[in-house]
Amino acid sequence: MSELDGKRAIVTGAGSGIGRATAELMAEQGARVAVVDLDADAAREVAEGIGAQAIAIATDVSKAADCDNAVATAAAEFGGLDVLVNNAGIIRRSTVCEITEEDWDLVMAVNIKSVMLMSRRAIPHLKAAGGGSIVNTGSGWGIQGGGQAVSYCASKGAVVNMTRAMAIDHGPDNIRVNCVCPGDTATPMLAEEARQLGEAPGAFYADAADRPLRRIGQPRDIASAIAYLAGDGAAFVSGAVLPVDGAGTA
């Protein structure tokens, strides 16, 4: 029996990339999964590909009403919740002098405010289930700085320390909170970074692979770490910040 067998999970940003790989892997391991994404068509495609174990919920995770609806819908459909994966994220490559106030606010809303909005609604359901797991997607740039990504670095640094604070607050309710910090991963967001910087994706990916393992990550690499932290095999792991980056931050 899988460590996720019978678990009831929400994964945000699950329409593509790491979120999609996580939703698919969790379902393979026996979980029921709410595929939450801003792109309704992408969410529906992923859920249909998974099958009867999944539902799609179109959600703007920067908006409280949408997050409230996503959690309520998933909990009602599944009869409760055991796992929340706060994975949705965006990036705007710029320095502090270049970024607009609108882009700063958007990055903060999607990358960090959403963790609060989703978690505050999910935690009562996890508590009612006798405990559960929250996994937040941080970044290697939440551990160390990076160039031309000031808003992203700030938001992911906040995700890392928010994870620690949540683990302390909610541990007494048997709710574990952990953070996975991916390095560069072959997702649509990485291609979008290349576009924002005016670089060819091939050359950009080659530069990103300059790390000890000599490759960039694949979505499944990160999904495997998330699934581990979500499952019963990590029953005594909480407040952890796990780099999954081919030793990029070593």
List of residues 6+ apart from 51 with CB closer than 8 A: 27
Alpha carbon separation from 209 to 26, 83, 98, 189, 215 (Å, rounded)? 27, 32, 27, 16, 4
DSSP 141-206: GGTS--TT-HHHHHHHHHHHHHHHHHHHHHGGGTEEEEEEEE-SBSSHHHHHHHHHHT--HHHHHH
DSSP 8-class letter at 239: S
3-state class (DSSP) for residue 33: strand
Cβ contact 189:204 at 8 Å: no
Contact (CB, 8 A) for 220 and 119: no
Annotated active-site residue in 15, 36, 86, 152:
152
Q: Is 152 a catalytic residue?
A: yes
Contact residues for 183 (Cβ-Cβ < 8 A; gap 6+): 140, 208, 211, 216, 217, 243, 244, 245, 246, 248, 249
Instruction: List the catalytic residues.
Output: 152
